[in-house]
Amino acid sequence: MSTKRPYALTIAGFDPSGGAGILADIKTFEANKVNGLAVATSITYQTEDTFEKVDWLSIEQIIQQTTILLKKYKVEYCKIGLIENIDVLLTVIKELTKINPIINIIWDPILVSSSGFVIHKKIEKEKLNEVLKSIFLITPNWNEAETLSGQEAMKGCEVISQHCSVYLKGGHNKSDEGKDYLFHSGKTYPFRKKREAPYSKHGSGCVLSAALTSNLARNFPMIKACLRSKEYTTHFLNSNKILLGYHKI
In this structure, is residue 116 part of a structural domain? Answer: yes
Look at residue 188 and tell me whether its pLDDT is greater than 80.
yes
CATH of residue 168's domain is 3.40.1190.20
Give the per-residue pLDDT at 89. Answer: 96
pTM, rounded to two decimals: 0.94
How many domains are there within the chain?
1
In this structure, is residue 14 part of a structural domain? Answer: yes
Segment 46-90, tens digit of pLDDT: 999 999 999 999 999 999 999 999 999 999 999 999 999 999 999
Structural domain for 212, as ranges: 7-237
Segment 111-169, tens digit of pLDDT: 876 656 666 667 889 999 999 999 999 999 999 999 999 999 999 999 999 999 999 99
Give the per-residue pLDDT at 210. Answer: 98
Can you give the chain as a three-state secondary structure string?
CCCCCCEEEEEEEECCCCCCHHHHHHHHHHHCCCEEEEEEEEEEEECCCCEEEEEECCHHHHHHHHHHHHHHCCEEEEEECCCCCHHHHHHHHHHHHHHCCCCEEEECCCCECCCCCECCCCCCHHHHHHHHCCCCEECCEHHHHHHHHCCCHHHHHHHHCCCCEEEEEHHHCCCCCCCEEEEECCEEEEECCCCCCCCCCCCHHHHHHHHHHHHHHCCCCHHHHHHHHHHHHHHHHCCCCCCCCCCCC
Average pLDDT score over the chain: 92
pLDDT bracket for residue 1 (50, 70, 90): very low
In this structure, is residue 13 part of a structural domain? Answer: yes
In this structure, is residue 227 part of a structural domain? Answer: yes
